[in-house]
Structures are given as C-alpha cells and as structure tokens.
C-alpha cells in the first residue's frame, strides 16, 4: 500500500496534550494510543506504559504496519519531533478524518509519572 498523503496542500495542526492530561486519560482507561518516536535503546530504558515504539526515522516506512486508533499521542524526548511525527501521521490516508493526533507537550522531559522498561 505505502504512504499516501491525503492533505497535501494544508498544514496539519497537531494538538499538544499536557502530561497530566495524558496521565488522566491512561488512568481512566481511555482508548488512546501512545506512540514513542525515540530510538529503540531510549524506548527500552523507559517509556510510558503501553506505548508503541515507532522511531521517527522509520515512521513513514512503517505507517502501514500499525492499526491506528481514533486518538493517537506521539511522544519524543522534548516534544518537538513528535509534533512533526503527528503532522506526518495526520496526512496519512489510513487515519480517519475524525481521529485526534496529538503530541505530548514537553515530551519525556515533562513526563513525571512512572515509566516502564524492557529489562
């Protein structure tokens, strides 16, 4: 199938979600998909529980591999490249127009809750 942008002419606006709001959603059992865009070694050292690791540099090539949910939160170390990843994801035709794609504001630098490790 391959990557096929659907919104070529507009600049996608990626919502920023605060760490406390994401934590609330996760605690409430909301159907939110957290995607960690950091390299595998950083992901393994500590990530938001339940996060899927799709490194930023691999996102375009792996976008068809994931069954994207209606609410996706992209996460990186500082909250910068996750905004770019969110824009890429929003432009993908496999994402519903009603889907919410957000970036974690401040990234892992701002995350104060527990992390899961692959140890």
> Domains of the chain (ranges plus CATH)?
15-110 (3.40.250.10)
* Residues in Cβ contact with 36 at an 8 Å cutoff, skipping those fewer than 6 apart: 43, 47, 48, 51, 52, 53, 54, 75, 76
Neighbours of 75 (CB within 10 A): 29
Instruction: Give pLDDT, residue 5.
Output: 46
What pLDDT is recorded for position 37?
97
Is pTM beyond 0.85? Reply is yes
For residues 115 and 77, is the Cβ–Cβ distance under 8 A?
Answer: no
54, 73, 76, 88: the active-site residue: 76
Q: Token pair of 105, please?
A: 């504001």
Per-residue pLDDT, 76: 97
Cα–Cα dist 100/13, whole Å: 10
Q: What tens digit of pLDDT does each residue of 16-61 get?
A: 999 999 999 999 999 999 999 999 999 999 999 999 999 999 999 9
Closest CA to 100 of 69, 62, 56: 69
Active site residue 10: no
Between 66 and 24, name the one with better pLDDT: 24
pLDDT at 3 over 50: no
* pLDDT per residue as tens digits for the range 71-111: 999 999 999 999 999 999 988 877 777 889 999 999 999 99
Q: How far apart are CA 95 and CA 8, in angstroms?
A: 14
CA distance 32 to 119: 25
Distance CA(3)–CA(76), nearest Å, equals 22
């Amino acid at each position: 199938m391959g990557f096929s942008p659907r919104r070529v002419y507009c600049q996608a606006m990626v919502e920023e979600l605060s760490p406390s709001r994401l934590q609330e959603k996760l605690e409430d059992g909301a159907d939110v998909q957290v995607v960690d865009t950091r390299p595998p070694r950083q992901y393994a050292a500590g990530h938001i529980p339940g996060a899927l690791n799709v490194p930023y540099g691999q996102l375009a090539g792996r976008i068809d591999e994931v069954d994207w949910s209606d609410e996706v939160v992209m996460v990186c170390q500082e909250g910068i490249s996750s905004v770019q990843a969110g824009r890429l994801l929003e432009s993908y035709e496999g994402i519903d127009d009603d889907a919410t794609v957000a970036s974690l504001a401040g990234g892992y630098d701002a995350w104060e809750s527990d992390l899961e490790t692959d140890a």
